[in-house]
Structure 1
Amino acid sequence: MTAGRRTPWPGQPSGDAAAPAAAVPADGTADDARLRERLASAVAASDAPDTVFAVSRHGRRTVHSGGTAPPPPRPREELRYEIGSATKTFTGLLLARLLQEGVLSGGEPAAACLDGGRAPGGDPVTLAHLITHTSGLPGLPADFRLRGLPAWRTNPYARYPADRVVAAFLRHRPRHRPGTRWRYSNFGVAVLGHALRAPTGTPWEDLVTGRVLRPLELKDTDLRATGPGVDATGHGADGTTPVPPFDAGGFQAAGALRATPHDLLTFLEAHLDPSRVPDPDLAAALRAVRTPVLRRGPDLVHEHTVAWVRHPTDGGPMYFHSGATLGQQALLGFRPDTGTALAALCTRRFRARDPFMSTAYDLLAEA
């Protein structure tokens, strides 16, 4: 699979990326009723112990929750859910902000950031390659399965800490020149998180907290599990067997975040209307992450920004990213043309036919 035509790095807002959100309908009563019915159907179709579908339309929020398990002591919409790979949208926004600030250019060789500043030979893997999945790295390090096997059904990532991620990257030799092929890689985004520490003097956890979470006032978003009553409990493929809270190990930048549905809507609403974000660098970054930086696949129909997958609809592009841990799944997305944002969350990991993801994607596409 080869990467398609790329826009200049870093991408600047252009076209629909700079367009304002759609105008608010004068009377949304009938639409609101239909939306509530649609969300109730989506929850029922998802067949998970706990499910939340949260939608924002022009800032008006509608949330519906339910599930096959008895209701928890705390309302489902107030729990924090593991969002897995949707964490990458936060990491992409963080990198875009660092570019806007002039702290980075995106062209820094990752190996130089991780290996004492020593310049790598040949065609180096850059920070831009890592966030766009064009680094040539596999999805996971070569020895990940062997290392994680004893905890494969509980927490394999916890057995692969940060130093192993960095060491695996420094000894890896890509088969293809960086920037020429697209391959989705948890490994690559994890490396990016660690590589950001050298040029900024700050670990990824503190960077994402200080540059993204706090400015957007995401007070119910964190990297660590607190426990029952605060965090939702994940379940395996049978929908009944609980699994331990996810531990991302050295892959924090690729999948560690957990958040409430309302925090996720706040995050997505900022993408819909960056002008309402008082921090100018963050507002500029929010616009930048809507700009495609590569196209791939047959006829180059699949577009990617530094944070989102972008698919066409009749009214305009929709942006989305899914995520999964061993016991939970999430899909986040937004549509500038309709002023709609969606945060869909559930506490079951589907292995084959997945009613949750397909329902969430269709709901966003139809919004």
Structure 2
Amino acid sequence: MSAPRPAALADRLTDRLADALAQIDAPDVVLALTRHGRRTVVSGGTALAPPMPREALRYELGSLSKTYTVLLLAVLARSGVLSLDDAVTDHLPDLPPVSADLRRITLRQLATHTSGLPRIPRDLVAGALLHPYRNGYAGYDTERLVRTFARTTLAHRPGTRWHYSNFGLALLGPVMSAAAGADYPTLLTDRVLRPLGLSGTTLGPGTTGTDAIGHRTNGRTPVAGADMAGFVAAGAVRAVPGDLLTYLEAHLFAEDTPLRQPLRDVQVPVLRRGWQHRHTHTLAWYQHPAAGGPMLFHVGATFGQQAFLGFHPASGTGLAATATRRGRTCRMVHTAYELLYALAGDSTV
């Protein structure tokens, strides 16, 4: 039997994405796939189509921003601006006296969530519990972030346990700024976004009508865009789906980019955790076993949007998914993960 024609393969991929799209419950949904360098994008949702096509809107990535931040960290490490094993306090010289445990935290530990820092500063916890849709980050500037770090008591000694921390990743912003002598947005733009050709990726809102509008869990109530203030390095990136595919393709085909070595660095497994050490992490990504080799992925959410990025190097497959609704009932993350896992083991498309 002859091999399927490219047009037939494209139709199959479109059908697979359309089936997955139907499982996701959100006002606006985009699924964007790159497979052997060929792109397929489908979009839809429960809301009326916006004036600008959904695939042209810029979406909030939330914690997916951390992969951009850690890639920037790898770029700066490769260029000798800093070392992953530098102490955080080495690059924050104006700190008041801090505990011995805080002085032990390294940049690598911030990136891999092994610093011992809590998920968010403790002075944000009560507000987050009482008002889950109120953006406590908005008034939390970098100076306050650093001051809070100086008086924080760690939950465990640095390097001994994995504990997800927005607080820790946010600190990479002022640390890298101090080391490189430029603010975080400038560093990210000059060292990562521009070299990779990510012109549709920003750290703030665009002009009216170019940004997707998020919604609460009910899928109806709009939510204001996320202002991350001092937590910019942990969750402020926004991107159009085309840029998300370009970003994934850079990881899949790093040798074709000017950031070849840093892109490889962030894909190397660095720790295992959980029962029987089943969970593997690289410097920037979660890594799970799949057909032919591991797949790497990360997820993110803001107060009204969700995003998923994943790639499978062995099959040259990358998947980006965005949805303008908060909450697990949206089923976006599960659906995107299962789709990427299935495509990783399917040689017929």
User: By the TM > 0.5 criterion, same fold?
Assistant: yes
What code does the residue aligned with 1:234 have? Answer: G
CA shift, 1:120, in A, is: 5.8
**Change in 2 beyond 3 A, CA 1:363/1:64:** same
CA–CA separation in structure 1 for the residues paired with 2:166 and 2:33: 28
Q: 1:207 aligns with which of 181, 187, 207?
A: 187
Are residue 234 (structure 1) and residue 210 (structure 2) matched?
no
CA–CA separation in structure 1 for the residues paired with 2:69 and 2:27: 29
Are residue 103 (structure 1) and residue 81 (structure 2) matched?
yes
TM-score where L is the length of structure 2: 0.92
What code does the residue aligned with 2:166 have? Answer: N
**Equivalent residues of 1:312, 1:318 under 8 A apart:** yes
Aligned residue pair count: 339
**Equivalent residues of 1:82, 1:258 under 8 A apart:** yes
CA shift, 1:146, in A, is: 4.1
What code does the residue aligned with 1:299 have? Answer: Q
What code does the residue aligned with 2:161 have? Answer: R
What code does the residue aligned with 2:322 have? Answer: L
Are residue 349 (structure 1) and residue 329 (structure 2) matched?
no
**Change in 2 beyond 3 A, CA 1:179/1:50:** same
CA–CA separation in structure 2 for the residues paired with 1:234 and 1:258: 12
**Equivalent residues of 1:85, 1:323 under 8 A apart:** yes
Are residue 112 (structure 1) and residue 90 (structure 2) matched?
yes
CA–CA separation in structure 2 for the residues paired with 1:188 and 1:253: 10
Are residue 318 (structure 1) and residue 295 (structure 2) matched?
yes
Are residue 329 (structure 1) and residue 306 (structure 2) matched?
yes
CA–CA separation in structure 2 for the residues paired with 1:181 and 1:96: 22
Q: Deviations over 1:240-278 (max 9, x none)?
A: 11110111121111100000000010011000001111x
Q: Deviations over 1:18-69 (max 9, x none)?
A: xxxxxxx984444322211111122221111000000001111000000111
The higher-RCO structure (CA 8 Å, 6+ apart) is 1
Q: 2:68 aligns with which of 65, 90, 94?
A: 90
Please state whether the residue corresponding to 1:327 is helix, strand or coil. coil
CA shift, 1:206, in A, is: 1.1
CA shift, 1:156, in A, is: 2.0
Which is further off, 195-204 or 319-328? 195-204
Q: Deviations over 1:320-352 (max 9, x none)?
A: 0000001100000111011011110010001x4
Are residue 366 (structure 1) and residue 342 (structure 2) matched?
yes
**Equivalent residues of 1:136, 1:178 under 8 A apart:** yes
**Equivalent residues of 2:28, 2:45 under 8 A apart:** yes
CA shift, 1:117, in A, is: 7.5
CA–CA separation in structure 2 for the residues paired with 1:106 and 1:250: 21
Please state whether the residue corresponding to 2:163 is helix, strand or coil. coil
What code does the residue aligned with 1:175 have? Answer: A
Which is further off, 68-77 or 191-200? 191-200
CA shift, 1:115, in A, is: 3.5
CA–CA separation in structure 2 for the residues paired with 1:147 and 1:198: 30
**Equivalent residues of 1:109, 1:120 under 8 A apart:** no
CA shift, 1:150, in A, is: 8.6
CA–CA separation in structure 2 for the residues paired with 1:342 and 1:81: 15
Structure 1 residues 1-367: aligned runs within 5 Å: 27-116=5-94, 122-123=100-101, 124-146=104-126, 152-277=132-257, 279=258, 282-350=259-327, 352-367=328-343
Q: Deviations over 1:183-240 (max 9, x none)?
A: 0100100011111122111121111111000001111100111244210111111111
**Equivalent residues of 2:25, 2:329 under 8 A apart:** no
CA–CA separation in structure 2 for the residues paired with 1:316 and 1:231: 36
**Amino-acid identity (%):** 52
Q: Deviations over 1:285-320 (max 9, x none)?
A: 011111011111122121111111111012210010
CA–CA separation in structure 2 for the residues paired with 1:207 and 1:118: 26
What code does the residue aligned with 1:345 have? Answer: T
